[in-house]
Amino acid sequence: MNLPQGFLLSGIHCGIKRRKPDLGLIYLKDFSQAVGFFTSNANPSYSVTVSKNNINNPIKAVLVNSGNANCFSHNKGLKDSEEIITRLAKQLKVNKKNILFASTGVIGKTLPKNKIIKSLGHLLNNLGSDVYSFASSIMTTDTAKKISLREVGPVKILGFAKGAGMICPNMATMLGFVLTDAKLERSFLKQCAKEAVEESFNSISIDGCTSTNDTVFILSSAKVALKKNQLNAFKKGLKEVCLELAKLIVKDGEGATKFIELKIKGAKTSQEAKQAGLALANSVLFKCAIYGEDANCGRIISALGQAGIKVGEDIYIKATSLKKREIVITVDLKRGKASWDFYTSDLTPQYVNLNAKYS
């Protein structure tokens, strides 16, 4: 799989996990402009804090660790994070403000900074075009790598994501990285990115839990020019990459046996339609019913009402076979003309067992 021009990737094992890859790097041959989206959780990880401070600068590299959330572990956590990116910046001969940082894993455990710092040379020496080593390095409870690619004329859009549990909009316990070589105005890239994230990563929920680490970076190396008549195609391609990654996250949901597409119609506004989708996606009773293949429409009515969405007796609900792995449920609220698509999974005993032993 060819990378967008201007990027190199690396993924290695540095010792955070026992055997699996746990340290990744996205490297820019020059610099990139970056757009970032971060968790709305009031207790963010140190990595999120670092990246929020740096996101508006030209970016040379993105460092990613898995197996440790780098969050609420000790008073020097933020200082340690700054030291790690300072060491990387020194090796790259740039300012620490040109480095982004993302982490995922268990909250409350001290990040082994010395293991990471000692592995930076190996990480840089391993740079190349192997997308799979990087995709592996960012995984935690994921059972499969999550990669998506689209081409728009000469431009490539390549995306990676991780996430399987603690998933809820704004953002989710997920990391997302989208790389493109398209040369774009920053304002246009931000607009495209915001729309793509809202319709994908912010339209999924596995368990209603918003993590401390949620991050999506969209990076452009600006190596390939697009014609004006290709801009809409780029926007469409970016949305497709983000949506494919978001769906892969839900399909890989911890313990999930069903992928559920909620097609909400007949809402007063798009926001109300999205709110309705979220209400169903986060309803424990609804998700248990889907796991049990029980067509209990009362749980839909109840969840909508709890969200403050009053519906009449003429509400329309239709579902494809609940026995299948992938299910589409259409809900027409009969309140207006707005619609939204939302994605979720069922809730199973395996989810409980996995998260009862996660630490």
The packing angle between helices 77-92 and 113-125, to 10°, is 20
User: Nearest CA to 112 among 176, 23, 38, 25?
Assistant: 23
CB atoms within 10 A of CB 144: 11
Q: Do 293 and 322 contact (CB within 8 A), yes or no?
A: yes
Report angle CA 245, 355, 74 to the nearest 5 degrees. 90
Cα separation, 323 vs 326, in Å, equals 9
**b/e burial code for range 342-356 (CB count within 10 A of at least 16 → b):** bbbbbbbeebeeebe
Residue labelled with tokens 């508006």: 56
Residues 6 or more apart in contact with residue 164 via CB below 8 angstroms:
140, 141, 142, 143, 206, 249, 252, 253, 254
173 is catalytic: yes
Integer-rounded Cα radius of gyration of the chain: 21
Look at strands 59-66 and 99-104 and give their pairing.
Answer: parallel
Tell me which of 140, 173, 212, 344 is the catalytic residue.
173
Cα separation, 231 vs 292, in Å, equals 45
Residues 6 or more apart in contact with residue 70 via CB below 8 angstroms:
45, 46, 47, 77, 81, 103, 105, 111, 213
Name residue 68's beta-bridge partners.
Answer: 104
User: Nearest CA to 24 among 143, 140, 189?
Assistant: 140
What stretches of the chain adopt beta strand conformation (E)? Answer: 7-12, 23-38, 59-66, 99-104, 146-152, 155-162, 175-183, 204-205, 215-225, 259-267, 316-319, 326-332, 338-345
Catalytic residues: 173
